[in-house]
Amino acid sequence: MTPPEAPTNGSASRGNVPPAVSACLWTIRKRADFLRAARATRQGRPGMMVQARKRGEAEEAGQDSNAIRVGFTCSKKVGNAVARNRAKRRLREVARLELPVHGRPGWDYVLIGRRDVTAECPFEQLRADLVRALEKLHGASS
């Protein structure tokens, strides 16, 4: 089965939809980066915990200094593998939508899922939790 073709007559509008993959978001993959974020400031919200830190000049050498890096984690307390993966998928989507707008270049963010909340709460509430956490984190660090 082949996917449908995009309209060629210009009827498809881009609208106000963020891109599927944001060019300014990088994923944190190294444990050392997660540990550095864990020692930095954090903000707890009902749907998630957000850790944030401004990267130093020495860390910027190998990558774009304007990049926003983000990591995701859920402990086994969140539930079985299915529940953890669902929570992380939701956190990834919230980060994709909100960090390009409310995040700051040169910062690392780690989003941590909460038990029985991250995977179940309404998506708009999860988005609002991230925005509010970022406002508080950057308000305190400005």
- What are the pLDDT digits (tens) for 53-89? 998 876 655 566 778 999 999 999 998 999 999 999 9
Write down the pLDDT at residue 12: 53
pTM of the model: 0.78
Backbone φ and ψ for 103, nearest 5 degrees, come out as: -80, 170
Third-level CATH fold of 25-141? Ribosomal Protein S5; domain 2 (3.30.230)
Write down the pLDDT at residue 40: 93
Indicate whether 109 pLDDT > 70.
Answer: yes
Domains of the chain by residue range: 25-141
Write down the pLDDT at residue 21: 47
Write down the pLDDT at residue 14: 52
The predicted model gives 107-120 an average pLDDT of 92
| CB 110, CB 100: distance < 8 Å | no
- What are the pLDDT digits (tens) for 11-47? 555 555 554 445 578 999 999 999 999 999 999 999 9
Indicate whether 1 pLDDT > 60.
Answer: no
Closest by Cα among 55, 56, 70, 52 to 137:
52
